[in-house]
């Protein structure tokens, strides 16, 4: 087993080895996961607080922003940020500048929620878009608190084509804002995931049925995004275990194996798995995830249920190249330094995770505070 202490006595030393993902060098392997915080203006413009929040966490090897909707129809939760207007890009640019000023790197996560939405959140009370008109047994967060998701409508081919263009426009605005790259969110039961998995996709056209057809929308989105941003600066997030938002497939290893085989030759920045969203993944499920990950030859990021010791061991075993941390980064803006020193971690206040003011957002102390 690899020693977890280097010559200077730093515990879990491999967490602090640089990682090169194509032309981007990450200074460490303690990455910040995308974290929905519901603190933007109602029109999707980030608030000024976000400059402080992200800037405080710039010591992460890479920050992946909170999920950011690519269009008005992509919104699924109250006060989440957007990347579909010039104003959005202008405010995101200030956040990117704050991260860069502190020596950090930041990718924007591109998001369309699909059926995980509510009519009160969408333009003119529209019904959510989805591959098929199947309501998710799930909830979303509205002005009234948590409510069941609304009945969706099956997207027309024209609407699919428009959404592909929305991804392209969002990528263009991300470039304008100065992001180092983008992550395409195809996980956790949102729109791209809904097209992939047969529990939510019952289409009979070229976007449904066979594995190849169900992958078509994702393939078109990636083609469009990489027209704007080099593939070397585009990551993707998947969740093959289907642990969120009523998503499931009759043969997940088959569909996700095909997806990864499609992704591998593209030269993407990384593949990012939600490995254990609920903390209940079985050994068999974990083995499936490892088989799937082994089909990708680029950088692989793990997520779910990690602490410093587990992350270090998984890196040493060659199972992951880096790990994204969520709740720990919420409460510990200087998480890499705390891991390096073996320092005590702040405990997150779950009551402040979604919505609110700067309390529980920018006021967690760093060690030198």
Q: Which long-range contacts (CB under 8 A, 24 or more apart) does 47-54 make?
A: 48/94, 49/357, 49/358, 49/361, 49/362, 50/81, 50/91, 50/95, 51/94, 51/95, 51/97, 51/98, 52/98, 52/358, 52/362, 53/361, 53/362, 54/95, 54/98, 54/99, 54/104, 54/106
Percent of the chain residues past pLDDT 90, beyond the cut: 93
Q: Does residue 250 have a pLDDT over 90? A: yes
Cβ burial, residue 143 (10 Å; 0-12/13-18/19+): exposed
* Mean pLDDT across the chain: 95
pLDDT interval class at 2 (50, 70, 90): very low
pLDDT interval class at 281 (50, 70, 90): confident
**Using one digit for the tens of pLDDT, what is the confidence trace for 319-343?**
999 999 999 999 999 999 999 999 9
**Using one digit for the tens of pLDDT, what is the confidence trace for 282-321?**
999 999 999 999 999 999 999 999 999 999 999 999 999 9
Least Cα distance to 53 among 89, 16, 81 occurs for: 81
Catalytic positions? 190
Helix pair angle (86-101, 157-177), 10° resolution: 40
């Amino acid at each position: 087993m690899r020693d977890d202490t280097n010559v200077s006595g730093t515990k879990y030393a491999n967490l602090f080895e640089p990682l090169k993902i194509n032309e981007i060098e990450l200074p460490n392997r303690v990455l910040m996961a995308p974290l929905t915080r519901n603190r933007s203006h109602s029109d999707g413009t980030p608030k000024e607080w976000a400059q402080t929040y992200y800037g405080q966490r710039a010591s992460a090897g890479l920050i992946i922003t909170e999920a950011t909707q690519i269009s008005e129809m992509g919104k699924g939760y109250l006060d989440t940020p957007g990347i579909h207007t010039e104003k959005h890009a202008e405010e995101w640019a200030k956040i990117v500048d704050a991260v860069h000023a502190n020596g950090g790197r930041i990718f924007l996560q591109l998001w369309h929620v699909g059926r995980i939405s509510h009519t009160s959140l969408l333009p003119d009370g529209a019904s959510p878009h989805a591959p098929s008109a199947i309501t998710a047994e799930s909830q979303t967060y509205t002005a009234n608190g948590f409510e069941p998701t609304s009945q969706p409508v099956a997207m027309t081919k024209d609407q699919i084509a428009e959404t592909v263009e929305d991804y392209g426009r969002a990528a263009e605005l991300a470039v304008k804002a100065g992001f180092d790259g983008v992550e395409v969110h195809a996980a956790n039961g949102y729109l791209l995931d809904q097209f992939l998995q047969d529990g939510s996709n019952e289409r009979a056209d070229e976007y449904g049925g066979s594995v190849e057809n169900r992958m078509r929308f994702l393939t078109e989105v990636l083609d469009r995004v990489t027209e704007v941003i080099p593939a070397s600066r585009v990551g993707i997030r998947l969740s093959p275990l289907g642990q969120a938002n009523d998503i499931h497939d009759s043969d997940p290893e088959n569909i996700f194996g095909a997806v990864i085989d499609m992704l591998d030759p593209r030269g993407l920045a990384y593949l990012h798995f939600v490995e254990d969203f609920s903390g209940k993944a079985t050994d068999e499920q974990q083995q499936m995830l490892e088989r799937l990950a082994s089909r990708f030859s680029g950088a692989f990021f793990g997520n779910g249920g990690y602490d410093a010791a587990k992350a270090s061991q998984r890196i040493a075993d060659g199972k992951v190249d880096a790990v994204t941390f969520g709740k720990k980064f919420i409460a510990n803006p200087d998480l890499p330094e705390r891991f390096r020193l073996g320092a005590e971690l702040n405990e997150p206040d779950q009551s402040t995770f979604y919505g609110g003011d700067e309390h529980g957002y920018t006021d967690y102390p760093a060690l030198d505070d």
